[in-house]
């Protein structure tokens, strides 16, 4: 990156950070310890703490708050995050609605709190969640099962982002069982979900008795064999994180291969990803959340590779973030949500198609703070 480009990037980072502080300051005053998901007409009306305490995205708002608290030291972020964490106790106590996404829920709330404040109560909550996740492990198939009900043999790429909860628990308890489970799941994901060209399946259905691969459904992508972009982002960042926590070079090489596939595809659409990289040309629909998550993964990758490799990943991440900002960010402090045009699934039309979604904001904040060297690793 030339001196001029570095200067331009620095200016953009500083200006965007100022807008971020203004936006989040106003938003935390409005939202407090409610649990937002998708705004309606610019306002977070629904409180997931009231409508679905088990919802998988319920940790992202406190994750945003803890990142802002760490970067600014403003107490209002900490107070709101702690409020959400206490509300999530109802999910731990209810138990039956819990699922594979307990990592998303408690890494960003209780574990983040413990890492930043040393709260023993928060540590206990995090370990409780880690044991729930470990309890979903299938020792015959060597995977963590997804969802509940009649899906005993289902595994999904998303879970690569949940297993850092197990790496954390292993360190805190000095118990390697958690690492064994996490690595088994990562290895099975590498074998069953990641394709040779760096693309990924979303779902693999295995025989829960022996781990035999039975089916590869399309899941949230266009069809079986397609390439759901957020699934690619989960895999990219997830394997980069597993490499960070284990030092296993296979995970680094997997993350690099997936990143190269993602960069090649997103470069053809102005650095904002389509919902699926292997779908018909029409209709055109983007998923900004996939882009900003992948950007975080690329910045994590940049920490693990040689100096001469770093620019590929950093530059791609910056291109994605700046394109997202230019085309889809809303900095109006009187309206909720920042990153627009997130999409939950290719075929879904249940209110999460082409709209702001809370995790898009989380990953944008994390990526911005990574570039400003103000973030803390929440994973």
Catalytic positions are 101, 158
Provide DSSP, 188-203: HHHHHTB-TTS-B-SE
The DSSP bridge partners found for residue 77 are none
* H or E element that contains 137: strand 137-138
Burial of 281 (0-12, 13-18, 19+ CB in 10 A): exposed
Bridge-based pairing of strands 143-144 and 213-215 is: unpaired
| Residues 263/315, Cβ–Cβ less than 8 Å | no
| Residues 318/9, Cβ–Cβ less than 8 Å | yes
| Residues 356/342, Cβ–Cβ less than 8 Å | yes
Distance CA 110, CA 129 (A): 9
* Residue 161 to residues 64, 143, 187, Cα–Cα distance (Å): 16, 14, 14
The DSSP bridge partners found for residue 203 are 156
Tell me how long the chain is: 379
| Residues 157/185, Cβ–Cβ less than 8 Å | no
Reference 291, options 234, 346, 249; nearest CA is 234
Collect all residues with Cβ–Cβ distance below 8 Å to 50 and sequence separation of at least 6. Answer: none
Distance CA 110, CA 59 (A): 9
Tokens representing 275?
A: 């919902």
- Tell whether omega for the bond before 255 is within 30 degrees of 0, i.e. cis: no
Residue written as token pair 């989960």:
234
């Amino acid at each position: 990156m030339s001196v001029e480009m570095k200067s331009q990037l620095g200016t953009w980072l500083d200006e965007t950070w100022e807008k971020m502080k203004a936006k989040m300051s106003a938003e935390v005053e409005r939202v407090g310890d409610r649990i937002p998901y998708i705004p309606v007409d610019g306002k977070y009306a629904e409180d997931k703490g009231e409508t679905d305490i088990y919802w998988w995205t319920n940790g992202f708002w406190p994750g945003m708050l803890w990142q802002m608290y760490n970067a600014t030291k403003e107490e209002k972020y900490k107070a709101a995050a702690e409020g959400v964490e206490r509300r999530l106790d109802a999910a731990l106590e209810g138990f039956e609605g819990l699922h594979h996404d307990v990592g998303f829920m408690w890494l960003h709330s209780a574990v983040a709190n413990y890492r930043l404040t040393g709260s023993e109560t928060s540590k206990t909550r995090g370990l409780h969640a880690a044991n729930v996740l470990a309890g979903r492990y299938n020792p015959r198939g060597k995977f963590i099962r997804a969802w509940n009900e009649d899906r005993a043999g289902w595994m999904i790429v998303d879970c690569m982002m949940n297993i850092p909860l197990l790496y954390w628990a292993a360190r805190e308890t000095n118990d390697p069982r958690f690492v064994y489970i996490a690595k088994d799941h990562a290895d099975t994901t590498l074998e069953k979900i990641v394709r040779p060209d760096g693309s990924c399946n979303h779902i693999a259905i295995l025989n829960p008795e022996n781990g035999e691969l039975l089916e590869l459904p399309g899941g949230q992508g266009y069809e079986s064999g397609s390439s759901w972009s957020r699934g690619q982002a989960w895999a990219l960042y997830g394997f980069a994180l597993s490499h960070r926590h284990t030092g296993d070079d296979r995970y680094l090489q997997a993350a690099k291969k997936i990143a190269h596939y993602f960069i090649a595809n997103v470069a053809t659409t102005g650095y904002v990803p389509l919902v699926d990289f292997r779908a018909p040309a029409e209709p055109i629909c983007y998923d900004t959340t996939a882009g900003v998550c992948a950007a975080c993964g690329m910045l994590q990758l940049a920490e693990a590779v040689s100096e001469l490799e770093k620019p590929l990943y950093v530059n791609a991440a910056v291109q994605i973030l700046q394109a997202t900002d230019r085309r889809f960010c809303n900095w109006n402090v009187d309206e909720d949500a920042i990153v627009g045009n997130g999409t939950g699934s290719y075929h879904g039309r249940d209110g999460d198609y082409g709209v702001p979604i809370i995790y898009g904001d989380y990953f944008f904040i994390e990526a911005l703070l990574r570039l400003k060297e103000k973030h803390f690793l929440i994973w």
